[in-house]
Amino acid sequence: MPSDPSLHEVSLYVEQEGTNKFKIQSGQLEQIGAQLRGRREFSIFQSIILPLIVSVATIVLSSAFQYVSWFNSVGLKDATDVADKAARTYESAAAAIGMRHYATLVFLPSLRDLVRAKANAVRSARAQANGPLGARAEAQGVLGARAEAIGVPSARMEGKGIKDIVAAQANAKKRNPDAERLLLNAVTQRTEDTKDNEISLHKSHLDIKQKRFASYYEQLKLWNENYDHVLSEIEYALDRPVFGHADKKNENFRISRAEIRKMDCLNYSFSEELQRLHLNSHSLKVRFAALNNCFMKIHGALDDQLTEGISEPLPAFDEPIESKIGKQLDALLAMENEFRCYAHRRIDYYNSQKELAIFSISYVWRWLTDATKTEALKHFEDTAGRCGA
C-alpha cells in the first residue's frame, strides 16, 4: 500500500454464497462511506444566505398580498361610504324641496280664497247694515221667491203689470189648498236640503283651505330649521369628493347671498342664470342655495298678500300677482328638476368609483397618468350637457 495520508486501510470479508452471488461484511462501513463520498466542505451561501433569501421573499410576498387585500378593502369601503352618504344627503334634500314646493303650491289658492272670503263677508255685513233699503230689497227677494213657488209671476218678469198679478193671485186662491200646502212643503224641504248641503260642502272646503294654510307654515318652519344643516351636508357629501378628484380642493364653496339675490327666478335655464352671475354651476350647494332664494322671493310675495288681507278692511287678491307667483313656481319646478338631474349624475359618478378603488393594473395606470382628474372633469362636462340642455 502506498503511504498516501488520504488513503486508509479497511478490512472486508467476502463470502460466496452461490453462483455470481457474494456477501460483503466489514466493521468499517462508515469509513468506507466517508471515503467514497469525499470530504464535505461548509457552504455559507447554501447554508445561510439562500435560506434567508427564501424566508425574506416569503414574508415580503405574503405581506404584499395582505397589504393589497387590506388596501382593496379600505378603498372599496371608502368609496361605498362616499356613494351611500351622497345618496342619503340627496334623498333628504329632495324630500325637503318636494314638501316645500307642494306646500307653497297649495297655499297660493288657499290664501286667495281666504282673502276673498273675508272680502265677501265684509260686503255682506255692509249690505245688511244699509238699513231699511237693504231689508226691503231682501224682503222683495223673499216675496218674489214665494210668489214663484205658488205660481205667481213677479211684476218684473215678461213686462206684466199689476192687473196680471192680481188676476194670477185670484186664480191661485181658487186652487186646492191641500195641493198648495204640499207644493210649499216640497219647495221648503228642497230649499232646506240644498242649504244644508251647501253649508256642509262650504265647511269642508274651508277646512281644507285652513289645513293647507297651517301646513304651509309648518313646512316653512321645518325648512328654516334644517336649511343650514342640509346645505352643509350637500357640500361635504356631494361636492367636495368630486372637486377633490378634479384637483379643485381649494374651491370656494362660500355662498354669497348678495349675488344669489340677483337671480331671476323666472328664468327656466338654471345653469344659464348661475353662469350669468358667475356662480359655480357644478356645485350642488350653490344650486340648493339658489332654490332657497327663489322660495324666499315667493314667500315674500305671499306674505305681502297675507299682510294686506289682514290689515285692509276690504282686501283683494291681485290676479297679476297670483299669475306671477304661479309662473315663478313653474320656473322653480324646472330648477328643482335640474338639481335632481345633477344630483343623480353625481351619485352615479361616486358609484362608478367603487370598482376603480380596487388595486389592479388599470389602477396603477390611472395613478400614473392622472386619469382620476380627467374623469372628474369629464363628469362635470357630461352632466352640464345632459342636465343643462
From first to last of its 389 residues, what are the pLDDT tens digits of the chain? 455 555 667 676 777 777 777 777 776 667 777 666 666 666 777 778 888 899 999 999 998 888 888 888 888 899 999 999 999 999 999 999 999 999 999 999 888 888 888 888 888 888 887 755 454 444 444 344 334 433 333 333 334 443 443 343 444 444 444 544 443 354 445 445 454 555 677 777 778 888 888 899 999 999 999 999 999 999 999 999 999 999 887 777 788 888 899 999 998 889 999 999 999 999 999 999 999 999 999 999 999 988 988 888 888 887 888 899 999 999 999 999 999 999 999 999 999 998 888 887 777 777 788 888 899 999 999 999 999 75
Tell me the whole-structure pTM to 2 decimals. Answer: 0.69
Range of the domain at 90: 85-130+209-387
**Is 77 inside a domain boundary?**
no
Cβ neighbour number for residue 383 with a 10 Å cutoff: 22
**Is 201 inside a domain boundary?**
no
Would strands 21-25 and 13-18 be described as parallel, antiparallel, or unpaired? antiparallel
Grid cell at residue 301: 310675495
**Is 149 inside a domain boundary?**
no
**Is 177 inside a domain boundary?**
no
The pLDDT of residue 96 is 96
**Is 277 inside a domain boundary?**
yes
The pLDDT of residue 39 is 63
**Is 159 inside a domain boundary?**
no
Whole-angstrom Cα distance, residue 136 to residue 358?
A: 91
Whole-angstrom Cα distance, residue 207 to residue 75?
A: 56
Number of domains in the chain: 1
Spatial contact of 328 and 264, defined as CB atoms under 8 Å apart = no
**Is 232 inside a domain boundary?**
yes
**Is 146 inside a domain boundary?**
no
Farthest CA pair distance, the chain: 180
Spatial contact of 354 and 83, defined as CB atoms under 8 Å apart = yes
**Cα dist from 247 to 11, 224, 344, 376, 381, whole Å:** 89, 33, 22, 9, 15
